[in-house]
């Protein structure tokens, strides 16, 4: 079956990067402004093509990462029916049907007719029966009459286009549609603030958090004046680089997310794995992990080579992956010499330039952000 990238490239054969570039620049500026939309942002066929060229691959990569994390955290979730609110050109559906062969029915809700037309064309070219037979429904928040019921309801990069009142309505609509809710927002302080507000509301309504949080306590990142976000790396095609005016062959798409499940029994925190919430920092013989733990705390876990299997696991760990519950509590060091080595290594890591310590710097910026940005945003309009 053809890849999403191949289908997008085929759909764009009749246009050019030069033609799409101004529209891409306008769309980027609109999305970065973060204002609630009063009319469809993608209102023309050119808008839809530009969106598919520069945003659909990133949205697909993020959706794939989020759903993979969801699968790992709760393998029992094997949905047959899915509904995606504000589906755009269908990137979430592409990721979902790839990861869940059990999915047989897909409902994609989108109001922009040119976006729907392009999404349908891409789906037909996919060779995937569930995508090809997906129901594309013209929909606006507040519409009644569809009465869709599904196993999973999702919304990717939608909340940021809504007012606070509309965000609450969206969340209520999704929670009444499916027992599992998936929300994705940009990995910015503002995006995280929207995710935190949704997380609080879902927990209050009886949901258990599947991912990324290993608990339902208050988010410990808030106390640190920091925000929880992750990154999905994707390769850029030639056209992708051209429409975005970039030279690098890849990009790291930062995102925040929450996956919650309506359940009668709350999850048992002690049985959950911790989440690695920053790039692991490595030097010879030591790995430093920043963890969000099942007890609701954010801690640093230093893993020395002397810890054997734990060290080997830590060495291969990645930002956003889980850390086994049995390894969350730091083991005692075997002797004073090992403790001295650990302390010296930690100091060495702290003294390293951030881009060296992280080992995965984004040459075009973005990085992991700074706490100062979060304080400014969370105390402003994002702090709900």
Comparing 50-59, 118-127, 263-272, 283-292, the range with the smallest average pLDDT is: 263-272
pLDDT band at 29 (very low <50, low <70, confident <90, very high): confident
Say if CB 77 and CB 28 are below 8 A apart. no
What pLDDT does 26 receive?
85
Which residue, 298, 294, 295, is CA-closest to 223? 298
Q: What's the rounded mean pLDDT across residues 205-215?
A: 96
Classify burial at 127, counting beta carbons within 10 Å of its beta carbon; exposed 0-12, middle 13-18, buried 19 or more.
Answer: exposed
Which residue, 77, 109, 107, is CA-closest to 261? 77
pTM of the model: 0.82
Rounded to the nearest 5°, which phi and psi values hold at 380?
A: -100, -140
Angle at 196 between CA 195 and CA 201, to 5 degrees: 100
> For residue range 152-188, what is the model confidence (pLDDT) as tens digits?
999 999 999 899 999 999 999 999 999 999 999 999 9
* 376: pLDDT strictly greater than 80: no
* 339: pLDDT strictly greater than 90: no
CA dihedral 177, 181, 182, 185 (to 10 degrees): 90
Domains of the chain plus CATH, in order, are 4-262 (3.40.50.150), 270-377 (no CATH)
Which residue, 55, 117, 326, 73, is CA-closest to 212? 73
In the chain, what percentage of residues exceed pLDDT 90?
Answer: 59
């Amino acid at each position: 079956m053809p890849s999403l990238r191949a289908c997008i490239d085929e759909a764009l054969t009749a246009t050019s990067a030069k033609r799409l570039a101004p529209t891409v620049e306008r769309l980027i500026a609109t999305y970065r402004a973060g204002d609630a939309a009063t009319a469809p942002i993608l209102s023309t066929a050119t808008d839809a093509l530009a969106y598919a060229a520069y945003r659909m691959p990133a949205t697909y990569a993020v959706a794939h990462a989020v759903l993979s994390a969801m699968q790992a955290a709760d393998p029992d979730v094997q949905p047959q029916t899915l509904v995606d609110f504000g589906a755009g050109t269908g990137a979430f559906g592409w990721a979902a049907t790839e990861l869940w062969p059990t999915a047989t029915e897909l409902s994609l809700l989108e109001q922009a007719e040119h976006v729907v037309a392009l999404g349908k064309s891409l789906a037909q070219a996919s060779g995937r029966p569930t995508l090809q037979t997906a129901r594309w429904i013209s929909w606006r928040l507040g519409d009644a009459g569809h009465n869709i019921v599904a196993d999973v309801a999702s919304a990717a990069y939608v909340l940021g286009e809504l007012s606070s009142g509309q965000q609450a309505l969206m969340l209520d609509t999704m929670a009444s549609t499916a027992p599992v809710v998936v929300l994705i927002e940009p990995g910015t302080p503002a995006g995280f603030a929207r995710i935190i507000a949704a997380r609080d509301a879902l927990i209050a309504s009886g949901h258990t958090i599947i991912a990324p949080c290993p608990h339902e306590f208050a988010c410990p990142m808030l106390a640190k004046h920091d925000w929880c976000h992750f990154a999905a790396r994707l390769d850029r095609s030639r056209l992708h680089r051209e429409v975005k005016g970039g030279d690098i062959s890849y990009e790291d798409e930062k995102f925040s997310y929450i996956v919650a499940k309506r359940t009668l029994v709350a999850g048992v925190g002690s049985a959950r794995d911790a989440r690695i919430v920053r790039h692991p920092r490595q030097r010879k013989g030591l790995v430093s992990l920043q963890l969000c733990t099942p007890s609701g705390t954010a801690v640093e876990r230093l893993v020395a080579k002397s810890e054997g299997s734990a060290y080997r696991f830590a060495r291969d760990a990645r930002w956003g992956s889980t850390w086994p519950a049995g390894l969350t509590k730091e083991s005692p060091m075997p002797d004073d010499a090992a403790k001295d080595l650990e302390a010296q290594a930690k100091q060495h890591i702290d003294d390293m330039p951030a881009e060296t310590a992280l080992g995965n710097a984004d040459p075009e910026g973005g990085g992991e952000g700074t706490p100062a940005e979060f304080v400014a945003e969370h105390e402003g309009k994002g702090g709900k």
